[in-house]
Every structure is written in C-alpha cells, then in structure tokens.
Homo-oligomer: A and B are copies of this chain.
Amino acid sequence: MKRIAIDAMGGENAPQAIIEAVLRAKKELKDTQFILFGNEEEIKKYLKEEDSQIKLVNTTEVIADDEEPVKAIRRKKDSSMVRAAQAVKEGQADAILSLGNTGALLACGIFIIGRIKGVNRPGLMPTMPSKKGDQGFNIIDVGANAQSKPEYLVQWAEMANFYAKKIRNVKNPKVALLNNGAEYDKGDALHQEAYKLLKETDLNFIGNIEGNEIMTGKADVIVTDGFTGNAALKSIEGTASVILGMLKDALLNNGTKAKLGALLAKPALKALKSRFDTARYGGAVLLGVNAPVVKTHGRSDQRPIYYTLVQIDKMLDQNLIDLLKKQFSQE
C-alpha cells in the first residue's frame, strides 16, 4: 500500500479542504493510505471516522506562512509539516503533501527527507497550462535556489525530463533553456554555460526560449535558474490574475448590455477559464529529494488538492524516485 503523509494544517482552507480532497481521492485510489498530520480536534470536525485508508496523527504546532523556514522547522518539531516529513524520513510514509509555508516545505525536503545522492541541488517544478491546451509544460527551478550554477540546471532538466516522460506521458519531451535571446551565445555566463552543457546531454534540447514563449507550449520542459524562474512564474500568475480580474470588472461594470453579453458568453468564458485551470495540473514538486515532496497553493480548495493527491499517487506508482536515484548514482 502506498502511503501519503499530509500536512492537514497548511493553507487558508485547512483542514476542511484537505479532508474533502482526501475523502474524494480515497474512493479512486484504493491502494493508497492517507496519513493526516494535524490538530485532532480540528480534523475530526470534518472527518467522521478513520478507516484502513485514512489515518490521523495528532500534532500540536503549525508553521505559519511568514515564519523563517529553516528556523521554523528546527523549532517546531511537533508541527504538522515537520511530523509529516519525519514520517517520510522514518519510512512510515512514501511522500508528503503540504499547502503551507513553501520555504519550510523545501527545508523539510532538503534537511529532513534528504537529497538524492548525486543531485547537487533539488529544484522546484510546477506543471503549468499552455496555449496548446491539455498538455501543459514543466518549469524548473521556480525558486528553491536563489543562486544557481550551470550544473544544477542540467540536473534539473534531466529530472524534469524524466518526470514529463513518466508522469505526464510525453514522448521525447522538448527541453528548452529560458534565456534572453534565441542564439546560443545569449545571456550571462551562467546561461551560456548551461546552454553548452545541455547541448552535450542526450536530452531533446531545442535551445533557448524567451519569456514570451513560456506559455506557448513550444517546450515541454523549461529549465531556468531559480531566481529568474521565480520572477517569470510570478509574473505570469500576476498578469493572468490582473487581466482576468479586469475582464470580470469590465463585463460587470459597463451597464446592462455588457452584463447581458457576459451572461450569454458565460459558457465560452467558462471554457476559457477551464483551459487556464491550473488545479488539474496538481502541485509543484521538489525534484531531487528522497521522496515526492509536493506543494499545493495555499489558497487551494478541494479540487487542486485532490489532483495533487492523484499526481503523487502516480509518482509512487511509477517509482519515479527510484528511477531518479538510479540515474544519478550512475553519473
């Protein structure tokens, strides 16, 4: 039986949304156990009973979003997040999911669960929707590392390539480097060197892409240094949120005709929204540690959490971590 350790106290809608997602997932994922770490009393408001698939572990502390990550995981040993990570470390669970403090979860992954031997630095990798529709793409690293080296980027590309093949079923994923121009000699020293090294791998490396091409679906895997990746990802999220907000505003605050128009166009607008539905893509994975460590957005309701559980389940089914371990032990 696969076992997923879940930080039931992280995120704005905890623990309710998390428990709803677990109750939904357990019906489909019959061979998976969900171990909820959190305040027993709180959790029991939404969870009527434990069973063979749902286990509850009482914890007394919660790491807040604004706490300094490394300090927080050192001090709050009985927090839902640290206890969940400890369970993975001690072999009582196979993966961890949290909606809480991203930095703290990364620290749990790196310092408690530990790096895969041969991996220099783990990288954070979401799956994002592209213009092309269902396929989406992976981008790594989006902020686990403020300072990056060319070799890190190559390993991130290799891990994300593995993920795209095994979990997203992409055949021969197209891998691109996020850079400030198309030509091989573009960018600073870091990106010029990363280009050279990527060119030498067996990856299906299609060269540089620029920020405006991220969402086009041109690449299945985009590799970037953690600082730039963080800025690019957040720029995308911010722009999408501003435009969709302004669209709503424009339709609702421009008189009756606009409102009627919005009403008639509602199914179309809904279709647009569903193509931008990041929920279906699950959470961001910290690749390069000894177990699936997955973060879902703190504002998530039940849906994205459910999809993240399905995603983690697939990572366990496919033995992704063992494959990565094998890959990097050979290097």
Contacts and interface: CB of A to CB of B under 8 A. Distances in A.
A146 B180 contact: yes
A227 interface: yes
Contact of A146 (B188, B224, B234, B236): B188
B247 A272 contact: yes
A211 B187 contact: no
B265 A251 contact: yes
A1 interface: no
A331 interface: no
Chain copies in complex: 2
Interface stretch (A81-89, A197-205, A237-245): A237-245
A242 B214 CA distance: 10
A323 interface: no
Contacts of A239: 215, 235-236, 239-240, 243
A232 interface: yes
A227 B276 contact: no
A187 to B, nearest CB: 5
Interface centre among A143, A236, A241 (most CB of B within 10 A): A236
Interface in A192-229: 210-216, 224, 226-228
A234 to B, nearest CB: 3
How big is chain A's contact interface, by range? 35 or more
A211 B188 contact: no
Given A227-B180, A232-B231, A243-B243, A260 B250 contact: no
Contact of A257 (B213, B234, B265): B265
A215 B242 contact: yes
Contacts of A216: 238, 242
A103 to B, nearest CB: 8
Contact of A262 (B146, B212, B226, B261): B261
A64 interface: no
A146 B214 CA distance: 19
A188 B246 contact: no
B242 A244 contact: no
A147 interface: yes
A186 interface: yes
A237 B215 CA distance: 10
Interface centre among A143, A237, A263, A268 (most CB of B within 10 A): A268
Shortest 4 CB-CB distances between A and B: which pairs? A211-B234, A261-B265, A261-B264, A212-B238
